[in-house]
Amino acid sequence: MSKREAFGHEGLRQEVMGGAPLRSADDLVAAGLASPAEHAGLARLAETFAIGVSRPLAALIDPNDPADPIARQFLPDMAELTVLPEELGDPIGDAARSPLEGLIHRYRDRVLLKLINVCPVYCRFCFRRETIGPGGDAHLSAEALAAAFGYIAEHREIFEVILTGGDPFLLSPRRLGEVVTRLAAIDHVKILRIHTRVPVAEPSLVTSALVDVLRKARQSVYVAVHANHPRELTPDARAACARLIDAGIPMLSQSVLLRGVNDNVEVLAELMRSFVAARIKPYYLHHPDLARGTSHFRLSIEEGRALVRQLRGHLSGLCQPQYVLDIPGGFGKVPLGPQFVSDGGEPFQAEDFSGASHDYPPRAL
């Protein structure tokens, strides 16, 4: 498959090391990540949901471990063909909050700008799995992009623009630079945030040219990197993040709480500590969305709260993510964190990390 066939657009970048990503049942069998007996089922699954595993992530998979947490995130599973009644094609309501193609205006002071519909890897739990990958335009058209810039310029309440997709870091530095330059002309936009998996999935794409584009931006730039297991933060991934951070670009983390991947306190704690050690501030820990065919990943909210409660006693404040639920229908995120203080009036009951309860203010001795 050529670069143009893979990405549908000359401005998108094929990885420069390690070969093309695995994008079919044939590729998975050839790489030893699926057996020939699984081929027919995986090919049928690929007709509904895209397959895509970058070579750096494929190299982390232990094909002899049926519970491998990297494989679980990225290798297709026939369980995805089980779709529950409550699961949705657009689980967080992007369409309901989209005034223009490629633009989502869910919160008053910020918008999402979806520049591209391709990722370096296709997560099996992705909330945009219906729109990411083969079957649509790879990138936002020039006309749609111009309309989006016009909308942002007209709405002076927009303080922050979040570049998403797909993965904006798959755009060439030149094309990403064009977007950054257009946004620089909109004075009321003060923050540019970019959501990406590239530093983990294709770290070689975090080049000096890409870093220079962001370093020269007029707005304050933040990069949010997505990783769910500490093994994803390889030396190459940490080096890619360091190239951004050393250029003065702060990084945040986003993770999804996933059954069989990070649903125990030891793995979650190691993941959050690994972020902080790499100078990445833990930001969101998402409760998994109700995307079609993803029920095998979901924990209950009660299970998630119990895990986050345990983190409070294991980790410093620097390492604490905010556990959130994206309300289906486009109504935004709400925190799900456990309650440590009663709301029954004074004296409040404050529970410490070991489970002991204390009066606040303390009763007179």
CA dist., res. 57 & res. 126, Å (int): 16
- As for how many domains the chain has, the answer is 1
**pLDDT tens, position by position, 232-264:** 999 999 999 999 999 999 999 999 999 999 999
Rounded to 5°, angle at Cα 93 from 164 and 288: 75
Burial class (CB in 10 A: 0-12, 13-18, 19+), 73: buried
Length of the chain: 365
CA dist., res. 96 & res. 245, Å (int): 35
Q: Of 23, 289, 319, 323, which one is the catalytic site residue?
A: 289
Annotation marks residue 106 as catalytic:
yes
Annotation marks residue 305 as catalytic:
no
Kindly state whether residue 67 falls inside one of the protein's structural domains: no
Kindly state whether residue 230 falls inside one of the protein's structural domains: yes
> Which structural domain, as residue segments, surrounds residue 186?
95-335
Q: Of 55, 72, 114, 128, which one is the catalytic site residue?
A: 128
**pLDDT tens, position by position, 114-133:** 999 999 999 999 999 888 86
Q: What is the CATH number of the domain that holds 266?
A: 3.20.20.70
**272-288 average pLDDT score:** 98
Kindly state whether residue 29 falls inside one of the protein's structural domains: no
Question: Helix, strand, coil proportions of the chain in percent (round to 5)?
Answer: 35, 20, 45
- Phi/psi of residue 104, each to 5°? -125, 125
Q: Which residues contact 117 (CB under 8 A, 6 or more apart)?
A: 131, 132, 133, 136, 137, 138, 139, 165, 166
**Closest residue by Cα to residue 96 from 108, 87, 86, 104:** 104
The share of the chain scoring above pLDDT 90, in percent, equals 79
Burial class (CB in 10 A: 0-12, 13-18, 19+), 208: exposed
362 vs 323, higher pLDDT: 323
Kindly state whether residue 250 falls inside one of the protein's structural domains: yes
Intra-chain end-to-end CA distance of the chain, in Å: 76
Annotation marks residue 281 as catalytic:
no
CA dist., res. 221 & res. 163, Å (int): 11
Q: Of 94, 107, 137, 312, which one is the catalytic site residue?
A: 107
**268-285 average pLDDT score:** 98
Assign 313 a pLDDT band (cuts: 50, 70, 90). Answer: confident
Q: What's the pLDDT score for residue 18?
A: 54
Annotation marks residue 44 as catalytic:
no
Q: Of 27, 55, 68, 119, which one is the catalytic site residue?
A: 119
Assign 6 a pLDDT band (cuts: 50, 70, 90). Answer: very low
Annotation marks residue 289 as catalytic:
yes
pLDDT averaged over every residue in the chain: 90
Kindly state whether residue 46 falls inside one of the protein's structural domains: no
pLDDT at 14 over 80: no
pLDDT at 343 over 80: no
Annotation marks residue 283 as catalytic:
no
pLDDT at 150 over 50: yes
CA dist., res. 310 & res. 315, Å (int): 9
Q: Of 3, 26, 94, 110, which one is the catalytic site residue?
A: 110
Low-confidence winner among 134-143, 144-153, 178-187, 241-250 (lowest mean pLDDT): 134-143
64 vs 338, higher pLDDT: 64
Q: What's the pLDDT score for residue 358?
A: 84
**pTM confidence score:** 0.90
Q: Of 90, 114, 123, 129, which one is the catalytic site residue?
A: 123
CA dist., res. 257 & res. 268, Å (int): 9
Kindly state whether residue 144 falls inside one of the protein's structural domains: yes
**pLDDT tens, position by position, 87-107:** 999 999 999 999 999 999 999
**Closest residue by Cα to residue 149 from 103, 194, 110, 96:** 103
Annotation marks residue 119 as catalytic:
yes
Q: Of 126, 197, 222, 323, which one is the catalytic site residue?
A: 126
pLDDT at 9 over 50: no
Kindly state whether residue 28 falls inside one of the protein's structural domains: no
Kindly state whether residue 353 falls inside one of the protein's structural domains: no
Annotation marks residue 216 as catalytic:
no
